[in-house]
Amino acid sequence: MSARQFSQERLMKVLIAPQISEKATFVADKYEQVVFRVSTDASKPEVKAAVEFMFKVDVDSVQILSVKGKVKRTGRFVGRRNDWKKAYVCLAPGQEINFAVSEQG
Protein backbone atom coordinates (compact mmCIF):
# COMPACT_ATOMS: atom_id res chain seq x y z
CA MET A 1 0.00 0.00 0.00
CA SER A 2 1.23 3.47 -0.76
CA ALA A 3 0.47 7.06 0.15
CA ARG A 4 -1.59 7.43 -3.05
CA GLN A 5 -4.45 5.39 -1.55
CA PHE A 6 -5.01 7.91 1.25
CA SER A 7 -5.69 11.62 0.89
CA GLN A 8 -2.89 13.97 1.93
CA GLU A 9 -5.29 15.66 4.33
CA ARG A 10 -5.92 12.35 6.13
CA LEU A 11 -2.21 11.50 6.26
CA MET A 12 -1.45 14.84 7.91
CA LYS A 13 -3.93 14.00 10.71
CA VAL A 14 -2.79 10.42 11.42
CA LEU A 15 0.49 11.26 13.22
CA ILE A 16 -0.04 13.42 16.29
CA ALA A 17 3.46 13.64 17.78
CA PRO A 18 6.64 11.65 18.32
CA GLN A 19 6.60 9.87 21.67
CA ILE A 20 9.74 11.00 23.51
CA SER A 21 10.48 8.87 26.57
CA GLU A 22 13.25 6.76 28.03
CA LYS A 23 11.71 3.61 26.55
CA ALA A 24 11.22 5.23 23.13
CA THR A 25 14.87 6.33 23.06
CA PHE A 26 16.01 2.80 24.02
CA VAL A 27 13.84 1.25 21.29
CA ALA A 28 15.14 3.76 18.73
CA ASP A 29 18.76 2.90 19.51
CA LYS A 30 18.43 -0.88 19.79
CA TYR A 31 15.81 -1.79 17.17
CA GLU A 32 15.94 1.21 14.80
CA GLN A 33 12.29 2.02 15.47
CA VAL A 34 10.55 5.34 16.02
CA VAL A 35 7.57 5.75 18.35
CA PHE A 36 4.66 8.01 17.42
CA ARG A 37 1.43 9.00 19.11
CA VAL A 38 -1.27 8.42 16.47
CA SER A 39 -5.00 9.12 16.14
CA THR A 40 -7.28 6.53 17.75
CA ASP A 41 -8.81 5.46 14.42
CA ALA A 42 -5.48 5.05 12.58
CA SER A 43 -4.60 1.74 10.91
CA LYS A 44 -1.19 0.22 10.17
CA PRO A 45 -1.30 1.03 6.42
CA GLU A 46 -2.30 4.63 7.20
CA VAL A 47 0.55 5.07 9.69
CA LYS A 48 3.05 3.58 7.24
CA ALA A 49 1.83 5.86 4.43
CA ALA A 50 1.85 8.93 6.73
CA VAL A 51 5.45 8.37 7.91
CA GLU A 52 6.67 7.75 4.36
CA PHE A 53 4.81 10.84 3.12
CA MET A 54 5.90 13.25 5.87
CA PHE A 55 9.50 12.16 6.47
CA LYS A 56 10.44 10.74 3.03
CA VAL A 57 11.78 7.46 4.49
CA ASP A 58 11.12 3.77 3.77
CA VAL A 59 9.13 1.91 6.43
CA ASP A 60 9.59 -1.83 7.01
CA SER A 61 6.76 -2.51 9.45
CA VAL A 62 4.38 -0.91 11.93
CA GLN A 63 3.11 -2.19 15.28
CA ILE A 64 0.21 -0.37 16.92
CA LEU A 65 -0.94 -0.61 20.51
CA SER A 66 -3.80 0.99 22.40
CA VAL A 67 -2.94 2.73 25.67
CA LYS A 68 -5.72 2.85 28.26
CA GLY A 69 -6.33 6.21 29.92
CA LYS A 70 -5.31 6.56 33.55
CA VAL A 71 -7.87 7.01 36.32
CA LYS A 72 -7.21 10.32 38.07
CA ARG A 73 -8.92 11.93 41.01
CA THR A 74 -9.18 15.39 42.48
CA GLY A 75 -10.55 15.18 46.01
CA ARG A 76 -13.71 13.12 45.85
CA PHE A 77 -14.15 13.49 42.08
CA VAL A 78 -12.87 10.62 39.97
CA GLY A 79 -12.18 11.05 36.28
CA ARG A 80 -10.47 9.15 33.51
CA ARG A 81 -8.07 10.32 30.82
CA ASN A 82 -8.80 9.44 27.19
CA ASP A 83 -7.48 6.25 25.62
CA TRP A 84 -4.86 6.78 22.90
CA LYS A 85 -2.79 4.84 20.38
CA LYS A 86 0.95 4.44 20.01
CA ALA A 87 2.72 3.21 16.88
CA TYR A 88 6.16 1.60 16.72
CA VAL A 89 7.49 2.25 13.21
CA CYS A 90 10.38 0.05 12.07
CA LEU A 91 12.46 1.85 9.44
CA ALA A 92 14.26 0.16 6.56
CA PRO A 93 18.02 -0.36 7.06
CA GLY A 94 19.96 2.86 6.63
CA GLN A 95 16.88 5.07 7.15
CA GLU A 96 16.72 7.62 9.97
CA ILE A 97 14.35 10.28 11.32
CA ASN A 98 16.07 13.01 13.32
CA PHE A 99 13.83 15.10 15.60
CA ALA A 100 16.66 17.16 17.10
CA VAL A 101 16.27 20.85 16.33
CA SER A 102 19.53 22.62 15.57
CA GLU A 103 19.81 26.21 16.71
CA GLN A 104 21.89 28.61 14.73
CA GLY A 105 23.50 31.83 15.81
Q: How do the residues of the chain divide into helix, strand and coil, expressed in percent and rounded to 5?
A: 30, 35, 35
Burial of 20 per CB tally in 10 Å (0-12, 13-18, 19+): exposed
**pLDDT beyond 60 at 98:** yes
Q: Where does the pLDDT of residue 47 fall: very low under 50, low under 70, confident under 90, or very high at 90 and above?
A: very high
Number of domains within the chain:
1
For the entire predicted model, the pTM comes to 0.84
85 inside domain: yes
So what's the pLDDT on residue 42? 95
CATH of residue 33: 3.30.70.330
Q: Where does the pLDDT of residue 44 fall: very low under 50, low under 70, confident under 90, or very high at 90 and above?
A: very high
Domain range for 19 is 3-91
24 inside domain: yes
**pLDDT beyond 80 at 45:** yes
102 inside domain: no
So what's the pLDDT on residue 60? 95
105 inside domain: no
Q: Where are the beta strands (DSSP E) in 1-105?
A: 15-18, 33-38, 59-67, 71-74, 77-80, 84-91
